[in-house]
Structure 1
Amino acid sequence: MCAHVLVAEDDEMQAELIRRSLLLEGHTATVVHDGRAALEAARLHRPDLVVLDLMLPVLDGFGVCRELRRDDDVPVLMLTARNTEDDVLLGLELGADDYMTKPYSPRELMARIRTVLRRSGRAAERREDPVLRAAGLAVDPVRHEVRCEGRPVVCTPAEFEILLAMAGEPDRVFTRHQLLHRTRGLDRASTERAIDVHIMNLRKKLEADPRRPVRLLTVFGVGYKLNSAAA
């Protein structure tokens, strides 16, 4: 069973850890960092589960949960560093399906997610195959493999993480900072300008004419996106 999970977590390192754990479990994920973005993403993506940090900026987790429950029964797993009984009870009263306090282990979080998904019965039987497919690419987060129109492509760890992010959300514009965060720890010399080098090298591997890319597009003044119309 493959579910789409919305992760609303303002700590970027925690959010990335959750995202990677979900991908390894065969799920897909959308990550946001504030409460208002969480509501917009929930309306856009119709996730099977929301992993919701309580202490979000703009609109906190309680507010997000309250708004979600107005017109949706999506399961909600709340995360928080606060462990007071009042917080737990309020979260559950607002409709949260489960509640975890920080710190937690990724294994325990994935076990809780599996339980909530199984209990809700909402997760679509999308596919057992966790491979992300977009723009003629197939990115396998489990086998750590990339194919372009069926042809195997050898990628560095940083290049793979960039493609994994983009294939998971085709047509989304990623800033250099966001892509740098995905590759941090894999390339110690990385700076935001190093992302330009990774994109240039990926274009050499994926584009028929790297000087006129159709897959990995530049959005001037913002960053890069994977063009879902390319094939």
Structure 2
Amino acid sequence: MIVEDDRQIQDFIAYSLMTAGFGVLTAGGVEEAMRKMRSKKPDIMVLDLGLPDGDGLDLIRRVRKFSDIPIIVVSARDKEEDKIEALDRGAEDYITKPFSESELMARIRVLRRHLIREERNRMGAEVSVRGLKINFDAKEVTLDGNLLHVTPLEYQLLELLFHNIGKVITTRTLLDELYGVSYGDNTQSLRALMAGLRRKIEKVPGKPQYIVTEIGVGYRLKDE
């Protein structure tokens, strides 16, 4: 969620995130942000401090009463004491305006990796979906008790899907995580990887029951 009252900056950050495959929520002030925090439960917050109906520092304090959402402050306030106060109140990171798109996206990727690790710890060593089981410690995948011989990249793909069971992972996010942010938009390798994995886990690869394609968006590991 982007909490920013300057429409140009809000649009710039939103476009950068959407281009990278993220879904985006926006809020122009403290109270709107609080309403959306409770109703939408976003994964990461990008927060300006100078808001029309309150201070972003107060928003951090209020959010921390009920949520551990990672918060990146993006502010024109460049004094050391402002940065220290924001971090002490619960922000994970602080970027001073003006900032570059590449720096912001790099900081967001770091937080996203932290979220994935936390989700893995919460889920435990093994997770199973209708007979398809992954063991994160052993880095093994089994189907109905039978060990599957998956490649390292196939395992990495499954790990990402298991960390987001029931959620759509965008094609852009998968390309960045599997091949690196400099790989570009060539989806042929990802489609080939997915086809090979489906041949190993699906009874009928053309009619997948585990990993479904969300056309024009990405892929989802079904949780039912």
Aligned to 1:97: 90
Do structure 1's residue 87 and structure 2's residue 94 form an aligned pair? no
* CA–CA separation in structure 1 for the residues paired with 2:216 and 2:185: 20
- The residue number in structure 1 matching 2:213 is 218
**What per-residue deviation string (whole Å, max 9, x for no partner) do you get for residues 16-64 of structure 1?**
xxxxxxxxxxxxxxx9675649986875669xxx776657xxxxxx859
52, 69, 74: which one pairs with 2:62? 69
Q: 1:220 corresponds to which letter in structure 2?
A: I
Secondary structure class of the residue paired with 2:157: helix
The amino acid that maps onto 2:89 is A
- Trace 1:60-209 onto structure 2 (pairs within 5 A): 63=56, 66=59, 69=62, 72-75=65-68, 78=71, 84-91=79-86, 96-97=89-90, 99=92, 129-185=124-180, 191-209=186-204
Larger Rg: 2
1:154-199: per-residue Cα shift (whole Å, max 9, x none)?
Answer: 22222112111111112222232221112115xx899312111111
Aligned mates of 2:122, 2:129 — CA distance in 1: 16
Q: CA deviation at 1:140?
A: 2.8
Contact 1:171/1:226 (CA < 8 Å) preserved in 2? yes
After TM superposition, the score normalised by the length of structure 2 is 0.55
Conserved 8 A contact 1:162-1:183: yes
Measure, in 2, the Cα distance between the counterparts of 1:69 and 1:169. Answer: 27
State the TM-score, normalizing by the size of structure 1. Answer: 0.53
* Structure 1: runs of 5+ lacking an equivalent: 1-8, 13-30, 56-61, 104-108, 118-124
Distance 1:173 1:184, change over 3 A: same
The one-letter amino acid of 2:187's match is: E
SS at match of 1:132: strand
Sequence identity of aligned pairs in percent?
A: 20
Distance 1:199 1:130, change over 3 A: same
How far has the Cα of 1:79 moved from its partner?
5.1
Residue 62 of structure 2 aligns to a residue in which SS? helix
Structure 1 pair 76–199 and aligned structure 2 pair: CA distance change class (3 A): closer
Instruction: Give me the CA root mean square deviation.
Output: 4.8
1:68: Cα distance to partner?
7.8
Where does structure 2 lack aligned partners over 5 or more consecutive residues? 1-12, 28-32, 49-54, 96-102, 104-109
Change (3 A) 1:191 1:87: same
Considering Cα pairs closer than 8 Å and 6+ residues apart, tell me whether 1 or 2 has the greater RCO.
Answer: 1
- Structure 1 residues 221, 51: CA separation in 2 closer, same or farther (over 3 Å shift)? closer
Pairs aligned (count) = 177
Structure 1 residues 65 and 213: CA distance shift in structure 2, 3 A: farther
